[in-house]
Amino acid sequence: MRFFLNGPEHKGVFALSSNITFMTAPRFFFTSESVTEGHPDKICDQISDAILDAILKDDPLARVACETAVTTGLIVVMGEITTSTYVDIATIARDTVREIGYTRGKFGFDADTCGVIVSVKEQSADIAQGVDKALEARTGAISDEAIEAIGAGDQGMMIGFACNETPELMPLTTTLAHKLARRLAQVRREGVVPYLRPDGKTQVTVEYAYGKPKHIDTVLISSQHAPDVSNEQIHADIREHVIKPILPSDLFDEQTKIFINPTGRFVTGGPLGDAGLTGRKIIVDTYGGIARHGGGAFSGKDATKVDRSAAYMARYIAKNVVAAGLAERFELQISYAIGVAQPLSLAIESFGTNTIPEEQIEALIRQHFDMRPAAIIRDLDLRKPQFRPTAAYGHFGRDDLDIAWEKNG
């Protein structure tokens, strides 16, 4: 499916979900976004993963599916948690909000005065029996003690992607959007731009030629701020302290269009400006839209949930394929049935960039990577607390974190 951009500045072919056209078009524009840790949806992701980490610290075998919602003056934590330990969910939620920077009512949210409602129950027994003992174990195909005995916690399809556009083997648009968002938070925390507040969003459009980055076409930054600051000062400070240190000089010049707080005012932010919910920024969490997405969110879920663990394994596989030079651009899909250990299917796509036949790549994947849930948990070390830092600025391409799925095997 192809759409033509008719504006004077974007004369080229844009293909919806088509990396093939992306690789062959002489002029192609692609956009990705990120949000800061103070964005309402990201507040929720971080609370959910902070609760997960706290539980895993004392109970690595816990089953956690934790959802969070925020709105004006209120946090609601809900879900299914089965664990042998106890954590103070309300305190974890408040501590997370405080660490993000919402410490005063005039910021739009206050960790110490907001209400917290907690409503959690144990995992459904029907689901638990399929996770505890996979179909293969229940039918006698394997022993109950085998690592393969754990079944997938749900059905679904998970996507992994990697490309050689950046050292992190991530799309350039996604990498730049995340770096700008992290820089926006950094200058706020360090007092470099002291009037900024926690909520913010970034967006980057890159012009490609035959699949290679050619020029940064557009940069958009929206940041919550104090009410007594002029637009002129905000524009000057964000250009100087956020944009210039991040964007590569060989792709960024006076032709790059820059939009900063295009509404003209962003004082009301955070949960006061918009409600938030866990799992509502799944494209920000993954590949910025350049790859497909299976649909499942990550945050608040323990590793028996293949929405999370299998997506991590898919990224790990894709990154290793690209790092090994087998393809410049690589995407794979893995699918599962609830209560079954073995994946139902594996599909791969190299978009014409493979250096050996795709059949050989698939055979190598099946030979070297075990995609059963328990094996993923073992190989990627997913029973330990490590997830809250991934809940903002992306789960992939994180060279700032010591996470197994971003390493080359």
- Which residues are tagged catalytic? 39, 41-42, 67, 80, 201, 266, 274-275, 280-281, 301, 305, 307
Dihedral pair phi/psi, residue 163, rounded to 5°: -150, 165
Which among 326, 306, 397, 336 is positioned nearest to 368, based on CA atoms?
326
Between strands 115-121 and 74-82, the pairing is parallel
Which among 91, 68, 100 is positioned nearest to 81, based on CA atoms?
68
Strand order from edge to edge, sheet including 156-163: 156-163, 329-336, 345-349
Report how far residue 252's alpha carbon sits from residue 312's, in angstroms, rounded to the nearest whole number.
32
Is residue 264 within 8 A of residue 223, CB to CB? The reply is no
Which among 381, 201, 348, 352 is positioned nearest to 283, based on CA atoms?
201
Residues linked to residue 30 through DSSP beta bridges, in sequence order: 206
Interior/surface letters 163-185, b for 16+ CB within 10 angstroms, e for the rest: bbbbebbbbbbbbbbbbbbbbbb
Residues linked to residue 204 through DSSP beta bridges, in sequence order: 32, 219
